[in-house]
Chains A and B, each alone.
Chain A
Amino acid sequence: MTTNFEYNQEALKNLQIDDPSILDRLIDGESARQAHLKKERGKVDKRISLKEAVQEFVKDGDIYADSGFSYVRTPLQALFEVMRQGKKDLQGIGSPNTNHSYGIPYGTFSYSHNSYLGAEMRGTDRSYSKAVKEKKVKILSEWSHGSMGLGFKAAQMGAPYIASKSLLGSDIIKYNPYVKVVENPFKKDKDPVCLIPALYPDVVFIHVQWADKYGNARIYGPAVNDIALAVAARKVIITAEEIVPESDLRNTTNTNVIPFMFVDAVVHLPYGAVPGNCPGYYYWAREFWEWGIRIALSGKDDKYRDSFWDYWVFDCKDQFDFIEKLGGIRWLNKHQVIERALNGINEDDGIDLSYQSVIPKWDEE
């Protein structure tokens, strides 16, 4: 196959991408524009189940954007459903793009556009490292958070590209076929800048606290890249803690609102960000991540990893099953109180933030 785009040849060579056409769709603004032109304009009830949303809107091979911030307001339950439905060969992108690692062993994701993939202070994701070495995943491009975020932002602004002072001088540009370093044409003196093209993923799930049935959605807490992603992506699915009347959103017009016309489907999905955190609603299941790092993401014997994901994803029907395994209503209540305390809307004196970083019994040999 051939491509009509001009890519950084050094990066293609370094990443051993023989057929660069696989890169095209991410920056094909015209095809994204056409997809947007064909979207439903009517204000119709777009509510469907999570299963239906994944069946209908996630296609094998899609460029799937991680939203939220790793474990904050991230649609993890939707991702788990994508894994359960056995979708294949997705390209993972996002800043951060931490969560697509989990589906790689199952063929859910086969390609990475990386900005940051790891568990922050809990350490690196060794299962991803292993997948790279075993060629279970192919890296298509490397980014920083800011540069990838600018790519989504350029798409949101309808700008073909945006110039940046990030990435210059780094090896990242040798592993990114999309970005180009040019001399700033406005300057007489030499002034290198990095050109970042507008980025158009195929599909994004965005988990929000409140949405109406048409898809108007409101985010509380950091929006990260999600407002831009909602404009850029070809397909947008909102998963929401609560479906509120349209008038409720009209009464609070101010911050971080995604308008209904970008949205293809609305899923009422309380606890949709579990085991991550949902601002204003519930705190992380930190024990889950500790187990995850020590078992599933440890890069050790695959059987530990498989037993982990079997237990938490494939043997769970939905988010309610998942919460039962975490400890049910007791777990939930505790994490709702912690979240409110951290948000500064609950008395925090006397709130115990400590947690057991232990390997649970079920996983001991």
Chain B
Amino acid sequence: MEFMYATQEQFDRLVDFKGAREYHLSKSRVKKDKRMSLGEAIDRFVQDGDILAETGFSYVRSPIQAYFEIIRQGKKNMVSIGSPMSNTSYLMTANCVYAIHLSYIGVEMRGNDKNFARNIKTKKAEILSIWSHGSMALGFKAAQLGAPFIGSKQLLGSDMLKYNPYVKVIENPVGLDKSEPVVIIPALFPDVCIIHVQKADRYGNAVIEGPAINDIALAAACRKVIITAEKIVPEMSIRELGNACIPFWYVDAVVELPYGALPGCCPGCYYWAREWWEWLVRIGTPKEENVQDVMRYWIYETKDQFEFIEKLGGIRFINHATRLMEAAQANIDDSLVSFDYQEVIPKWD
């Protein structure tokens, strides 16, 4: 295949079952304290040229503060994948990601992501393969199941098949009707993912509250796994409930990172900073220079998540976001909780 930026090796590595297996075999099994700072975790485990898998669901329990750190550290030549993968838009703008395996990049009900469209039009980044959420998720799931590939009824008849060099349509070798077509999806093995969770212990045993999306599969599939956690809890408190979904031996680094999903939401913790996303969609994305302004203010000139929160409104913002999430999850009386928010253009702009 001809690529604008990506290398053939990067392209092949995504489906290298044996390579990923060898990598996993080489990882330390020792149950040791893996805690480190976000800066150190990104520095050590996210390398230029890596295939980065997005986790969570765009703005739900996504490790957005860790993505900001990747941008601050100026990682480059990365390939991005994920279902969905909306935060990749800014990793492309920041020159961290130069190629993507596309499932969905957008801001859902807020509309198309003009920044993403511009990055593709101006050839700042290239698309290597096109997927649906379900078909890509089956690729991660196949990896988790140790299966070289998996048959599917997804993608059939769509043009995505013409833009996805990884999948094949074959006649169903096990079905009722031999001529019936089936799509086969290879197991997908990204290099690295960062998974933001509500609770983890120092070794990496991690608990997810709310939708896990692809994260359990990605933890098993990826060569390197970084956990960022709202809280680091004693191991025994995880054993008491037995509800971890990622075992410690998949995990390379554990970062205590309260508010690590901001400006997205974290189930059980805090609601979205919706005004922030409004700014981004309305002001931030239409022009390249505006995106640069947004990134300068919110990422490059922001040291960590606490400075980010200060810019959002500090403790008042967090208190409100926490209440909204509790109300949304029916954990508090929501009769007097207002979900209204100002769709305003902020003063600084």
Contact = CB atoms under 8 A, between A and B. Distances in A.
A106 B63 CA distance: 59
Interface in B81-133: none
Interface in B144-193: 145-153, 166, 168, 170, 172-178, 182, 184, 186
Contacts, number: 88
B147 A162 contact: yes
Interface stretch (A180-188, A258-266, A324-332): A180-188
A254 B243 contact: yes
Given A157-B141, A162-B151, A182 B168 contact: no
A195 B173 contact: yes
Contact of B174 (A150, A178, A185): A178
Centre residue among A153, A180, A191, A254 by max chain B CB count within 10 A: A254
A191 B151 contact: no
B251 interface: no
B175 A160 contact: yes
A153 B175 contact: no
Contacts of B152: 158-160
Given A165-B148, A186-B15, A186-B168, A197 B174 contact: yes
A28 B147 contact: no
Contacts of B184: 163, 185-186
B150 A154 contact: yes
A30 interface: yes
Contacts of A163: 142, 147-150, 184
Nearest to B239: A344
A6 interface: yes
A107 to B, nearest CB: 30
Contacts of A154: 150-151
A311 interface: no
Nearest to A28: B176
A184 B209 CA distance: 37
B335 to A, nearest CB: 18
Contacts of B174: 5-6, 27, 160-161, 178, 180, 195, 197
B149 A184 contact: yes
B299 to A, nearest CB: 33
A254 B175 CA distance: 35
Contacts of A162: 142, 145, 147, 149-151
Nearest to B167: A186
Contacts of A164: 146-148
Nearest to B331: A251
A265 B30 CA distance: 46
A48 to B, nearest CB: 31
Contact of A150 (B145, B153, B182): B145
A165 B149 contact: no
Contact of A184 (B148, B175, B239, B243): B148
Contacts of B149: 162-163, 184-186, 193
Contacts of A150: 145, 147
B141 A191 contact: no
Interface in A41-94: none
Given A161-B174, A185-B168, A255 B145 contact: no
Contacts of A158: 152-153
B138 interface: yes
A169 to B, nearest CB: 16
A56 B152 CA distance: 34
Interface string A137-171: 00000000000001001100111111111000000
A119 B125 CA distance: 59
Contacts of B166: 186
B146 A153 contact: no
Nearest to A31: B176
Interface in A228-257: 253-255
Interface in B199-217: 209
A274 B153 CA distance: 41
Given A4-B176, A5-B176, A159 B15 contact: no
Given A157-B138, A159-B150, A193-B148, 13 more contacts: A6-B174, A29-B176, A159-B138, A159-B152, A160-B182, A161-B150, A162-B147, A162-B149, A163-B147, A163-B148, A163-B150, A164-B148, A255-B243
Q: Which 3 A-B pairs have the closest CB atoms?
A: A197-B174, A160-B151, A161-B151
12 contacts: A6-B174, A29-B175, A150-B147, A159-B138, A161-B174, A162-B145, A162-B149, A163-B148, A185-B168, A186-B166, A197-B174, A255-B243
